[in-house]
Amino acid sequence: MESLIALFQRYAGKGGYNCILSKMEFLSFMNTELAAFTKNQKDPSVLDHIMKKLDTNNDGQLDFSEFLNLIGGLAMACHDSFLKAVPS
């Protein structure tokens, strides 16, 4: 838990308010922490689409609970991938 909070806080607030990720902070997070994912995307608008989907209150930024939706989705995708890799 502490690591997730620290990760969020590492990127949030560079624009002045440390409780949200601005679009630029979100892009910085994605391009740094999830570089393998972002580099393999053929659609340049994929990060915009992800942000819009995560931004449930449509304020153009991500609070911690919206950020956790990203982390939860990634965890589920990894879990599903591991299950598919394990022989029945």
Q: Domain map of the chain by residue range?
A: 2-85
Q: Write out pLDDT tens, residues 19-67.
A: 999 999 999 999 999 998 888 888 889 999 999 999 999 999 999 999 9
> Domain 2-85, CATH 3.40.50.720 — does that match?
no
3-state secondary structure at position 62: strand
pLDDT of residue 15: 66
17: pLDDT strictly greater than 80: no
pLDDT of residue 85: 86
d(CA 84, CA 69): 23
> Is residue 69 very low, low, confident or very high in pLDDT (cuts 50, 70, 90)?
very high
Phi, psi of 69 (to 5 degrees): -60, -40
Which amino acid, 38?
T
pTM here is 0.85
